[in-house]
Amino acid sequence: MKLKQLEGLLGDLQQFSNPKAENSFGDVSNKVVADLGCGCGTLGAAAALLGAEQVIGIDIDSHSLEIASLNAEDLELDINFIQSDIKNLGWRGQIVDTVVMNPPFGTQKKGADMDFLFVALKIASQAVYSLHKTSTRDHIKRVALRAFNASSAEVLCELRFDVPQLYKFHKKKEVDIAVDLWRFVPKDNQGKERKDI
Amino acid sequence: MRLLTHNMLSSNIKGVANGFPLRIEVEKVVEKQVELSADFLRNLFPKIEWKALVDAARTMGYAELAEEVDSSMLDSNEFLNKFHHALLELHLEEGALVCPETGRRFPVNKGIPNMLLHEDEV
Ligand SMILES: C[S@@+](CC[C@H](N)C(=O)[O-])C[C@H]1O[C@@H](n2cnc3c(N)ncnc32)[C@H](O)[C@@H]1O
pLDDT tens for residues A89-98? 999 999 999 9
Q: Is the pLDDT of residue A197 over 70?
A: no
Mapped to the 3 state alphabet, what secondary structure does A22-72 carry? CCCCCCCCCCEEEEECCCCCHHHHHHHHCCCCEEEEEECCHHHHHHHHHHH
ipTM: 0.97
Question: DSSP label at A121?
Answer: H
Q: How confident is the model at residue A105 (pLDDT cuts 50, 70, 90)?
A: confident
CATH number for the region B3-117 comes to 2.20.25.10
**Separation in Å, CA B46 to CA A72, B41, B73, B104:** 29, 9, 12, 29
Q: pLDDT tens across A27-54, in order?
A: 999 999 999 999 999 999 999 999 999 9
Predicted pLDDT at A177:
86
- Cβ-based burial of A108 (10 A; exposed 0-12, middle 13-18, buried ≥19): exposed
pLDDT band at A57; cut points 50, 70, 90: very high
- Whole-structure pTM value: 0.90
Chain A residue whose CA is closest to B11 = A90
CATH classification of A3-192, choosing from 3.30.460.80, 1.10.10.10, 3.40.50.150, 3.40.50.1950? 3.40.50.150
Q: What letter would DSSP give residue B64? A: -
Per-residue pLDDT, A188: 78
> Angle CA(B61)–CA(B65)–CA(B68) in degrees, nearest 5?
140
Which sequence spans correspond to the domains of chain A? 3-192
* A60-90 tens-digit pLDDT: 999 999 999 999 999 999 999 999 999 999 9
List of chain B residues with pLDDT < 50: none
pLDDT score, position A194: 38
Distance CA(A64)–CA(B11), nearest Å, equals: 23
pLDDT at A77: 96
Mark yes or no for CB contact B116/A60 under 8 Å.
yes
Which residues, numbered 24 to 63 in chain B, qualify as contacts with chain A under a Cβ-Cβ cut-off of 8 Å?
32, 34, 37, 39-40, 44, 47-49
pLDDT digit string, tens, across residues A125-171: 999 999 999 999 999 999 999 999 899 999 999 988 766 545 555 55
Distance A158 CA to ligand 1 centre (A): 20
- The DSSP bridge pattern shows strands A32-36 and A54-59 to be parallel
B90 near A CB under 8 A? no
